[in-house]
Amino acid sequence: MNRSLLIAWTFVLGLFAWNGFSDPAPNAPSNKLQHMYEIFYLPFSIEFKQGRTYNDIFPLIADKRGEFTQLLTPDKLKVLDQEFSAERKSWEKSSLFLNTPLELNESQAITQRLISHRISLKRTAWDKVSVADQIKVKALLDGKPEMIKKAVTQYQFLRSLMKGANEDKFNFFVIGPSWCESSKEYRYILEHYSKKFPNAQLVLHSVVVDDPQGQIFDSQLMNDLFPFPENYSHNSVPRFLALEKSEGQLKVWEEGHALAELKNRFFAQHRGFLDSALPVLKKVSVPNRFLASPSY
């Protein structure tokens, strides 16, 4: 077995043994849709609250006391979307993620903090590991709980995408099929935020999955990357993951948890940076604060 690979996996399994590896299965889902809205509308002083179900999300703006209790009506939200659309077009046009062509199964570090990947739907976590080494890793996992085996496979997949990236940074992955317009939007929106509010600790990964037949939801790739479906509020694309090794602890965040951690750590303090630029929000008096959603 390749000595460096053996050392790496002995280290990972050692982390599990002494609980240095974060729990791969959080107790409850974090609402992915709510956090997607919070990221999408970050330029505006709007808070989003969940109703009775994961799909009931209500946009709130501040009342005269500065409390977020006033519902943003559908007509005002429609006007806001129209105005915001024009702003986003310039972000899309200048996006390095969208304008850097890649061959299939190619990864490129566009900058130190922007890494782009184009992968096959048939790619698995162990594609770049020899059969002999896979057998030895399997032996290392023998007798371990199924949850740990799934988490190790997930980590191996992410590790295979870490070209040019440092695990000590907060690596955030936007993963979506080639046909998904929403995935495309979140790629260039997050790229814009990361360039406008740069932070050396944040590395963004765009992962485009070639999926001409629309088969991504039934793929082994999704099973490898998202092995705990009971912990996800939505089965939708784009999908989100984050990975970081800090103070000897390797941690993976998934879906809504990943979005909440990204927002709270890197962007929350910048919410509302376009309030004055859009007429629909110019008359709204908002406090100079951000009610950050909890990290899970």
Structure confidence at residue 292 (pLDDT): 41
The continuous run of DSSP H or E covering 229 comes out as: none
CB of 262 closer than 8 Å to CB of 172: yes
Closest by CA to 175, choosing from 228, 211, 131, is: 211
- pLDDT (tens, 9 = 90+) of the chain, 296 residues, equals 444 444 455 545 554 443 445 555 555 889 999 999 999 999 999 999 999 999 999 999 988 888 999 999 999 999 999 999 999 999 999 999 999 999 999 999 999 999 999 999 999 998 888 888 888 888 888 888 999 899 999 999 998 998 766 888 999 999 999 999 999 999 999 999 999 999 999 999 999 999 999 999 999 999 999 999 999 999 999 999 999 988 878 899 999 999 999 999 999 999 999 998 777 666 554 444 444 443 33
Contact status, residue 125 vs residue 157, Cβ threshold 8 Å: yes
Q: How far apart are CA 259 and CA 266, in angstroms?
A: 11
- Spatial contact of 77 and 257, defined as CB atoms under 8 Å apart: no
- What is the bridge-based pairing of β-strands 249-254 and 170-177? unpaired
pLDDT for position 164: 60
Please enumerate in sequence order all residues whose Cβ is within 8 A of that of 255, keeping only pairs 6 or more positions apart, or say none: 29, 30, 32, 226, 231, 232, 233, 234, 239, 240, 241
Name the one residue in this structure whose structure tokens are 């590395």: 203
Annotated domain spans of the chain: 3-282
Q: Could you give the strand order of the β-sheet that contains 239-246, starting from the edge strand earlier in sequence?
A: 106-109, 114-120, 202-210, 170-177, 239-246, 249-254
The structure's pTM equals 0.87
